[in-house]
Amino acid sequence: MTHPFLYRALRVAEIEAGYVLVPKAQGPFEAGPRLGIDTRLPFVLGQTEEHAVRQHQWKQNGFPTSGVSTTPHLERARFYAVPGGVIVEVDRRLFSMYEVREYVVNSILGEHPVDIAVPDDDEIILVRDGAEPFPKQLIVRVMVLDRSVG
């Protein structure tokens, strides 16, 4: 682990929930193939984590999954934050304690770099089984941005 901390610009729902990481969907982190997205040969049918990774970050909008996007680069989190928004710092060293898995997008999709929405993000998707937000203990710092600066 090169970077012990990851960063995320929180969505409004995550701020309103008390500065916690909240996935957009619940359930296993896997997805079936989607036409126009998961079309590499050999074509894999069925539910896979690779399909979920590709779809999660597809064209920066993605499809709702049980994963949460993070980056090891604070400046990339700032790029995604809105003025007056919130960035959190997440401690990776606590992942095993709270059963958090990470999916390194550039590694998983690296064979076909064109499938990576933003390679410079070095996106790491965090996943935790269960239907609840990620434990608040993972967040070791909350940064509220100035309203005039993104």
Q: How far apart are CA 116 and CA 128, in angstroms?
A: 22
Share of the chain above pLDDT 70, in %: 87
What's the CA gap between 1 and 93, in Å, rounded?
Answer: 9
Order across the sheet with 67-70: list the strands. 67-70, 124-128, 100-104
DSSP sequence for 99-142: TEEEEEHHHHSTTSGGG-S-GGG--EEEEESSSSPPPGGGEEEE
Q: Would you state the pLDDT for residue 36? A: 64
- Check residue 140 and give left, alpha or beta (phi > 0: left; psi -120 to 50: alpha): alpha
The Cα 9–Cα 71 span in angstroms is 10
Which helix (H) or strand (E) is 144 found in, with range?
A: strand 139-144
Question: Domain boundaries in the chain?
Answer: 5-27+67-144
| CATH code given to domain 5-27+67-144 | 3.90.210.10
Q: How does pLDDT run across 1-57, given as a tens digit for each residue?
A: 688 999 999 999 999 999 999 999 888 998 877 666 656 656 667 778 888 998 898
Chain-wide mean pLDDT for the chain?
88
The predicted-structure confidence for 61-100, as pLDDT tens digits, reads as follows: 778 889 999 999 999 999 999 888 999 999 999 999 999 9
Count of CA atoms in the C-beta half-sphere (13 A) of 134: 35
